[in-house]
Amino acid sequence: MARSALPTGFDEVIETLRMVEVENLDIRTTTLGISLFDIAGSDSGLPDRVYQRIVDYGGNLVRVAEQVEADLGVPIVNKRVAVTPIAMIAGGSDVDGMVAVARALDTAAREIGIDYIGGYSALVHKGITVGDAALIESLPEAIGSTERLCASVNVATTRAGINMDAVRTMGHTILAIAHRTRDRDGVGCARFVVFGNAVEDNPFIAGAMHGVGEGQAVLNVGISGPGVVNSALRRLMASPPPSGVNFGSVAEVIKRMAFKVTRAGEVVGRVVAKRMGAFVEFGVVDLSLAPTPAEGDSVANILEAMGLERVGAPGSTAALMLLTDAVKKGGAMASSSVGGLSGAFIPVSEDAGMVEATRLGALTIEKLEAMTSVCSVGLDMVAVPGDTPPETLSAIIADEMAIGVTNHKTTAARLLPVPGRGPGDVVSYGGLLGDAIVMRVNPFSAEGFIRLGGRIPAPMQSLKN
């Protein structure tokens, strides 16, 4: 058939098929946010009410998502649920009561067949309530005794500053979670993240939660697509236009690919939300490029396609800034419902290119921290020695929060102290969590600094109205 005789839109169909089959395009997650405010309490019946709410609202999520996946031909990798921060819902509960709710969430997640459930969370950026304290104290047991539960604590915002008392506690909490799951190389820490400027509509684990400003039931979508962008850039480099390749042309290619991927994500999300029923509204498309351990599905490889020998080399932060900005611009043009985190993720163990760069010594934790100033989130899936002092973990978190607070952006730290392992050791977590190489941590102590406590004041831009 002559090309001119092909039906309108055929080129777009072929391109989408190529992106799915060759370039690892997928919808990383459809996440159903569920409000629990109307069933809140601290009585013994709360866990049952939470379980029933998840089953009632999310019982058909997996079935609907799989039907849409088959009908549209775009893979939906994960189906998840996020709930209102539990510290608010069970604010009068003690530690045992919090753990009971955690197990109810996990049981409900298993019952409806989802991958993860998020929202076992506390917001302590300005102070810690009784409920917040109980939830934080419960974290090692809550995570250690569940399989699908994910948790987060927000310890800083641009308007409030950094709650250093909470940050100090986080170092001990992370080590306690690692110890509780030491028989599995501390993998429980992969289900816990510390946030600054946490967003209310994040569909990605481990920080997904259903914010206080959200509706009763909202379907948010997280897209993927590093392979799509990587392939497009490599085609550009292999067959440059007559005028040659420069940073402007690189940005244009990334924007075009982000536009197409975001379009696909919004279509999938709206169809899933509609088929879920009238009680579910469509929320946002989080257009973050989320890598996987699969070959060619790496954010690091995108940066290397721009001319870096390895990610972590000088220029990596600038390359990541270009990528993050271009992704946001392209996605914002494709949808009026862009939200969540949106940009580019750099989870070390989940990105084959990041793992290789770490193995070669090109990527250090200090360079990674610099790169987090321009990525979507922060220090993500970073394995560190199991004997790292809690104050050092807290200081790393404080540094990451400082980046977010000063730059008015979301930052996070998902640190994995691996019991019994040291720098250079390789830990295989499997699946999307990938292989982690334990990174060297600066040996000099921050104990005196962390012991000061109190709150680092908000920067002056917090006074903007």
Q: Pairing state of beta strands 161-163 and 116-123? A: unpaired
Q: Quick one: average pLDDT of 418-430?
A: 96
Q: Is residue 349 part of a domain?
A: yes
**Could you tell me where the DSSP H helices lie in 277-348?**
299-305, 316-334
Q: Is residue 290 part of a domain?
A: yes
The separation between CA 12 and the C-alpha centre of its own chain, rounded to angstroms, equals 30
pTM: 0.93
Instruction: Inform me whether the pLDDT recorded for 4 exceeds 80.
Output: no
Query: What CATH number is given to the structural domain containing 352?
Result: 3.20.70.20
Q: Quick one: average pLDDT of 244-251?
A: 94
pLDDT of 251-287, one tens digit each?
Answer: 999 999 898 888 888 989 999 999 999 999 999 999 8
**Residue 80: its pLDDT value, please?**
98
Q: Quick one: average pLDDT of 340-362?
A: 94
Q: Is residue 266 part of a domain?
A: yes
Mean pLDDT (the chain, rounded): 92
Instruction: Inform me whether the pLDDT recorded for 210 exceeds 80.
Output: yes
Structural domain including 266 reads 22-465
3-state secondary structure of 71: helix
CA-to-CA distance for 462 and 401, rounded, in angstroms? 15
Instruction: Inform me whether the pLDDT recorded for 463 exceeds 90.
Output: no
Instruction: Inform me whether the pLDDT recorded for 34 exceeds 80.
Output: yes
Helix pair 46-58, 95-112: axis angle to 10 deg: 20
3-state secondary structure of 383: strand
Q: Is residue 267 part of a domain?
A: yes
Q: Is residue 7 part of a domain?
A: no
pLDDT of 153-165, one tens digit each?
Answer: 999 999 999 999 9
User: Which of 18-22, 145-149, 223-227, 257-261 holds the top average pLDDT?
Assistant: 145-149
Q: Is residue 13 part of a domain?
A: no
**Residue 10: its pLDDT value, please?**
38
Q: Is residue 57 part of a domain?
A: yes
Report the number of distinct structural domains present in the chain: 1
